[in-house]
Structure 1
């Protein structure tokens, strides 16, 4: 029997909204969206996996859609450790001992962290753009000018003007990022309105601002997650079977000719560069994403 729709799972921090596809008894696959995206990124991936018999979970990250914090006093953290802890908490709440993970951008970061620090919980990993763990201690080192200019939005968020700009213009701002980050994708205008409502979450701006400030050490993190941030400073290797999908036309970080992330993976690892694909990998390239997942699930 196939289940589908929006469900909620309460953890110690959040009431996490998620979409569920497929039989509850199937092998678990968790699909994680990024910023500024939503579960709509997996509209062509999740049902196909469910038809294969897998149990597919597609959560709304903290600050997105119907996901809500349990307490008004909780720090609206967007730090990498918080995203990873949310994923672990969701797996625990749903009694998922082990899952195949797929994610890009923020979701890819959560998936990579759990794969690196808790490999016993991960069967396989499809990661957008390789090794997504932030190297925060070295975050203030300048990068080459081409890379720096693509990060303009992050520096904007470090200012009060950026907070106000995102608050007042969140839908227009995120639509601009979609266009800049997927410059060759013809379906931007059609697909963006499907994800935009997820950004109306009351915590969206605060979580986003904290995320882009914490990664540059301009905002303190959640003290309860400091142990995980300290572990991530060591840039641990990912040992689970992994496939990296990289968009050749990614407006944030186009795929380099040389795979600079290969050394961070100690188990089976393959990099696939997708021609004509930007940053929104699963939505722009659902067939390639589905193939990568099936290749790992059938190993």
Structure 2
């Protein structure tokens, strides 16, 4: 029986097998960037240089930065239950190719803090997207390639849909993830509902208390890692580096609100209503895009991209990564970094 470790080696040290690639490479904007990203094993890097902080909107955002200050900008966005370490291998790969790489902690994670104790700990999708717009403004970044997975894909999709002038290109794992709260009220097939068990757990007070309790929160997040990345042979130290980000005092309220809001169980804020109305209409995305589907991700009913293809109306390519689970950038850093370079050239 093949082990998780030998399976990871068998698929090419995190590169995966890309299929279904479309689109034409080229473009002056990326002319100075090498076409090929060197292949490295997942886990080659374990830490970022000293983190930075910047006041942006309602937050003091913690972020990692790699690469030349005058390079084209890539902003990498993590998901749950993850943090900036999902890009600990991706960032130096892109930096060595000439990109300025920004990897922020989302609200409620790591060193990102609310500036005021009275600010509502709101995690609806448009609020998180506006955090990244505020970050770009604070760092004087007019336009960037956005690349993310999970919450990060959703955030990048929203910015590309509502503020396309800020997005040079998009890499979105799992495709179009903009939430339609009304549609979320419809039941899924039982197997799919089972995969989302923690979403329903968080809808209960037991789930909220578990997220507020350090040991239960730690073990719950570890269980999710194991379930959604069945072939990734990560060690305890890899998980613990990310788990440190869960100690943020706003982590539990942000996570709980995000999942309850998606199910229509918690209200958002009125000031975001205009954005949510636009997002409920499922706006198309016109910026150059590469979507990535990891074929061992239990959340994906199919990995050919067909279910969401209609939402991407600009230059486009889709890739399926064989043997890779949900945390795609950390499991397959070379493939993810290559997708960024290729999206920039579409």
Shorter-chain TM-score range: over 0.9
| TM, length-normalised to structure 2 | 0.83
RMSD: 1.4
Instruction: Check conservation: 1:45, 1:290, Cα contact below 8 A.
Output: yes
Counterpart pick for 2:170 among 125, 128, 131: 125
| TM, length-normalised to structure 1 | 0.96
4+ runs deviating over 4 angstroms:
none
Post-superposition shift, 1:190?
Answer: 4.5
Q: Deviations over 1:177-217 (max 9, x none)?
A: 00011011112544211101001100000000000010111
CA distance in 2, matches of 1:167, 1:117: 34
Counterpart pick for 1:141 among 180, 186, 195: 186
CA distance in 1, matches of 2:177, 2:336: 17
CA distance in 2, matches of 1:127, 1:190: 27
Contiguous gaps of at least 5 residues in structure 2: 1-47
Secondary structure in 1 aligned to 2:168?
A: strand
Structure 2 match to 1:294: 341
Higher relative contact order, structure no. (Cα contacts within 8 Å, ≥ 6 residues apart): 2
Instruction: Check conservation: 2:63, 2:105, Cα contact below 8 A.
Output: yes
Instruction: Check conservation: 1:83, 1:107, Cα contact below 8 A.
Output: no
Instruction: Check conservation: 1:262, 1:269, Cα contact below 8 A.
Output: no
Structure 1 match to 2:23: none
Secondary structure in 2 aligned to 1:196?
A: helix
1:29-178 aligned at under 5 Å gives the runs 29-168=74-213, 169-178=216-225
Structure 2 match to 1:267: 314
Aligned residues: 297
The structure that has the greater radius of gyration is: 2
Post-superposition shift, 1:49?
Answer: 1.1
Counterpart pick for 2:330 among 275, 283, 299: 283
Q: Deviations over 1:244-270 (max 9, x none)?
A: 111100133354456200001001121
Q: Is 2:254 the counterpart of 1:223?
A: no
CA distance in 2, matches of 1:196, 1:32: 17
Secondary structure in 2 aligned to 1:62?
A: coil
Instruction: Check conservation: 1:124, 1:297, Cα contact below 8 A.
Output: yes
CA distance in 2, matches of 1:174, 1:285: 20
Return 256-265 or 274-283, whichever deviates more: 256-265
CA distance in 2, matches of 1:216, 1:54: 38
Q: Is 2:242 the counterpart of 1:195?
A: yes
Post-superposition shift, 1:82?
Answer: 1.1
Q: Is 2:59 the counterpart of 1:14?
A: yes
Instruction: Check conservation: 1:249, 1:255, Cα contact below 8 A.
Output: no
Instruction: Check conservation: 1:125, 1:242, Cα contact below 8 A.
Output: yes
Instruction: Check conservation: 1:178, 1:188, Cα contact below 8 A.
Output: no
Secondary structure in 2 aligned to 1:57?
A: strand
Contiguous gaps of at least 5 residues in structure 1: none
CA distance in 2, matches of 1:255, 1:114: 25
Instruction: Check conservation: 1:248, 1:254, Cα contact below 8 A.
Output: no
Secondary structure in 2 aligned to 1:63?
A: coil
CA distance in 2, matches of 1:259, 1:194: 36
Structure 2 match to 1:210: 257
